[in-house]
């Protein structure tokens, strides 16, 4: 009989222990003990056979560790070996292959989103300046805003076929300040800079950028 394959292409833990997927915990334990008594390295004097037995015994231990633990077994049944190494948890048991695949894809998508967030180098600066002169002199008047500034930048590394695809940089800045000649009016300005840089070797680099600026007035402040 051909050995059962897992979803990752390797021999499944059930095949390693030679038990069906619906095997009980007691049946799994009994199968492990029987096979362990055969493949234990100490039972083989020949060095080559001992090495082969050690490999088989290690696979038995790995399979038994998972299938004898109800929680690990549920994760393995739903998502395979990769699910065990990902820290994934299983709540209500999924009923179909389609449900398992959909849940696994959603989990991988979330992991990729977190990875991309970690790769993005984000920097931000925020500054607000108020005039509280009236309060210092005891006048019952709220502080007035003189200037607000915000600046943000993010660097996003790209991949092309698994190789370095360069870095995209997006930087934005906005400034709102009191108009020097129009009382009660704020003057605003801002800009957005987008750039791309990629190294092609020790002396060759692709580098380019585009910048757009805006200007506006806020009346009645």
Sorted by where each begins, the domain ranges of the chain are 13-92+99-116, 120-219
pLDDT in tens, 109-126: 777 777 666 666 666 777
Question: DSSP secondary-structure letter at 162?
Answer: T
Residue 190 makes CB contacts below 8 A (sequence gap 6+) with 172, 173, 174, 175, 213, 214
Residue 217 confidence (pLDDT) above 70? no
What would the CATH number be for the domain defined by 13-92+99-116?
1.10.287.110
**Cα gap 114→103, rounded to integer Å:** 17
How confident is the model at residue 3, as a pLDDT?
Answer: 42
CB 201 within 8 A of CB 175: no
How confident is the model at residue 219, as a pLDDT?
Answer: 55
pLDDT in tens, 55-114: 999 999 999 999 999 888 888 887 788 777 766 555 545 455 567 667 777 777 777 777
Among 33, 67, 40, 32, residue whose Cα is nearest residue 56: 40
| 3-state secondary structure labels for all residues of 106-145 | HHHHHHHHHHHHHHCEEEEEEEEEEECHHHHCCCCCCCEE
Pick the residue with more confidence: 23 or 128?
A: 23
pLDDT in tens, 124-166: 777 777 666 655 666 666 666 677 778 888 777 777 766 777 8
């Amino acid at each position: 009989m051909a050995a059962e394959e897992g979803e990752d292409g390797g021999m499944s833990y059930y095949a390693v222990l030679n038990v069906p997927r619906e095997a009980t915990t007691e049946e799994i334990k009994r199968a492990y003990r029987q096979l362990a008594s055969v493949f234990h390295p100490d039972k083989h004097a020949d060095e080559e056979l001992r090495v082969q037995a050690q490999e088989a015994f290690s696979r038995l231990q790995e399979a038994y560790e998972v299938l004898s633990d109800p929680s690990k077994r549920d994760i393995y049944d739903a998502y395979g070996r990769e699910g065990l190494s990902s820290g994934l948890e299983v709540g209500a048991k999924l009923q179909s292959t389609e449900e398992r695949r959909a849940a696994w894809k959603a989990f991988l998508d979330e992991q990729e989103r977190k990875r991309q967030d970690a790769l993005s180098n984000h920097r931000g600066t925020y500054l607000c300046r108020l005039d509280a002169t009236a309060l210092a002199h005891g006048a019952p008047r709220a502080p007035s805003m003189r200037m607000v500034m915000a600046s943000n930048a993010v660097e996003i590394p790209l991949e092309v076929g698994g190789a370095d695809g360069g870095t995209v940089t997006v930087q934005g800045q906005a400034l709102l300040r009191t108009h020097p000649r129009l009382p009660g009016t704020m003057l605003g300005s801002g800009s957005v800079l987008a750039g791309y840089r990629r190294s092609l070797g020790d002396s060759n680099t692709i580098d380019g950028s585009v910048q757009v600026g805006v200007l506006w007035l806020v009346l009645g402040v």
